[in-house]
Chain A
Amino acid sequence: AQSVAQPEDQVNVAEGNPLTVKCTYSVSGNPYLFWYVQYPNRGLQFLLKYITGDNLVKGSYGFEAEFNKSQTSFHLKKPSALVSDSALYFCAVRDTQAGTALIFGKGTTLSVSS
């Protein structure tokens, strides 16, 4: 069965410091991997996705993520955090052998302090 794990409920970083939000996944086939961000009372906003090719994916707002097949990970990163990055982040996977639905992790709250 497909699943996504976000091991940290919350990540705290100081503004200007690099940030990492962790994600690991489990699928039967090849994965399509996604990161979404959710602000309070808002829908999910797409950040980036990995389908194939270069393992380092660059997305919106300066975020990037690295696909690591051997570790089944897809950690979200940003070199320099902003206070406005504070939000709830979701990692999601689509198993290409198991349909079109995205399976989401439980989410990680990112808090960036000034």
Chain B
Amino acid sequence: GENVEQHPSTLSVQEGDSAVIKCTYSDSASNYFPWYKQELGKGPQLIIDIRSNVGEKKDQRIAVTLNKTAKHFSLHITETQPEDSAVYFCTSGGGADGLTFGKGTHLIIQP
């Protein structure tokens, strides 16, 4: 089955700096890569997604990149703000079993 590795497990950045979270996947058939943000006491919420026919996608301060050849994808958050503090999950999908989640990155924004 699909295997998704996510790094780092914890990331601490100064407010205003950029944050980058990286993931790799194993199944070359995967073609959909959503990212979720989970705030304390809440369920994961979709923040951005990318499909395998696209190399990069941006939405305001958030961008995702995908390298199909290397089987890795990344989340970039620029000009980080306190409300960006949360756990972020990368996921990989495209098969019959739905999405496979990475183990999560705890992003801490230092004031």
**Are A and B a genuine interacting pair, yes or no?**
no
> Which residues of B come within 8 Å of A, CB atoms?
none
